[in-house]
């Protein structure tokens, strides 16, 4: 019987290059892994509408996780295994009241289908992969259900302070995660929700043993994922905290196809051992 194996990939700062794209080389390496029998699973802090095109580009058919583990689903399909975790909508409005004190440029609340942002002047269609109208304003009348996540943006210099302050106030019920990539985005999800919980759930559904999960990441929100994986690989551009828990490091950053280079060398080694 063939042993089932999985590669779990973060997007920003890992699979995506400095232009937030999947390069042809990385696409080819991941497609080669799929052809070799590996499940490739996206595990990202992004909402689905901001990662859908990458899922389609790689022609994936596996479940994926968004919002740092708060949503597990099989894109564009009805799936009995779909799972989501929500947080209290009141937290978004509490943060909105403290927007200036916390040094935030915007506060947004999101779920699988919709997003709401407090100020359309700070709306960036590239960040939300969508257009926005008055119906997307973060108000009690519009946000009527508890969201999967709350997203805030601050400056890079203020990010640590902001993260600590949000954790101090709401840490009993939420966890605060950072995005990789050029923007200083904080993702707020329910306590105990992280990528490893979601990827473990997907692995169980696919029949993949923990020891046969390989994972790639670059940021603080990938620490649990790399710790969980049988083989966790931190990007050369990754944080020191992540590198400390990784089993290995890529030789190159995401800007230089570090993930692709690692997979190419890994499969060459495997082929050599088989021969």
Domains of the chain, residue spans: 5-84+193-274, 89-190
Please give the mean pLDDT across all residues of the chain. 92
- Read off the tokens for 9: 């990939």
pLDDT in tens, 95-133: 999 999 999 999 999 998 889 999 888 787 777 777 888
Q: Are 215 and 203 in contact (CB under 8 A)?
A: no
Helices (H) and strands (E) in the chain, counts: 10, 13
CATH fold of 5-84+193-274 reads Rossmann fold (3.40.50)
pLDDT score for 274: 44
Average pLDDT over residues 137-161: 93
Which of 10, 118, 175, 222 is flagged as catalytic?
A: 10
pTM score of the predicted model:
0.88
Tell me, yes or no, if 247 is annotated catalytic.
Answer: no
275: pLDDT strictly greater than 60: no
Return the CATH architecture of domain 89-190: 2-Layer Sandwich (3.30)
Torsion of CA 212, 47, 93, 122, to 10 degrees: 130
pLDDT in tens, 169-206: 999 999 998 776 677 889 899 999 999 999 999 999 99
Torsional sign, CA 28, 31, 37, 42: positive
pLDDT in tens, 37-89: 999 999 998 889 889 999 999 999 999 999 999 999 999 999 999 999 999 99
Q: Which helix (H) or strand (E) holds 203?
A: helix 195-206
């Amino acid at each position: 019987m063939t042993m089932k194996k999985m590669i779990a990939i973060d997007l920003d700062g890992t699979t995506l290059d400095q232009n937030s794209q999947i390069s042809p080389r990385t696409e080819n390496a991941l497609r080669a892994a799929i052809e070799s029998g590996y499940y490739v699973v996206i595990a990202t802090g992004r909402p689905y509408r901001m990662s859908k095109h990458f899922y389609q580009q790689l022609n994936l058919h596996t479940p994926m996780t968004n919002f740092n583990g708060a949503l597990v689903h099989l894109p564009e399909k009805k799936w009995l295994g779909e799972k989501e975790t929500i947080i209290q909508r009141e937290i978004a409005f509490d943060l909105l009241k403290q927007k200036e004190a916390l040094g935030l440029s915007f506060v947004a609340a999101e779920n699988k289908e919709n997003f709401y942002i407090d100020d359309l002047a700070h709306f960036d269609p590239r960040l939300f992969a969508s257009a926005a109208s008055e119906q997307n304003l973060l108000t009690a009348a519009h946000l009527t259900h508890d969201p999967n996540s709350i997203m805030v943006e601050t400056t890079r210099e203020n990010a640590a302070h902001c993260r600590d302050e949000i954790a101090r106030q709401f840490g009993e019920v939420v966890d605060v995660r950072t995005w990789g990539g050029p923007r200083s985005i904080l993702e707020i999800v329910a306590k105990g929700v992280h990528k490893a919980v979601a990827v473990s759930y997907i692995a169980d559904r696919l029949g993949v043993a923990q020891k046969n999960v390989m994972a790639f990441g670059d940021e603080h929100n990938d620490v649990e994922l790399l710790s969980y994986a049988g083989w966790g690989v931190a990007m050369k551009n990754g944080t020191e905290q992540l590198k400390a828990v990784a089993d290995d490091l890529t030789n190159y950053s995401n800007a230089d196809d570090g993930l692709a280079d690692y997979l190419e060398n890994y499969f060459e080694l495997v082929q050599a051992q088989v021969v």
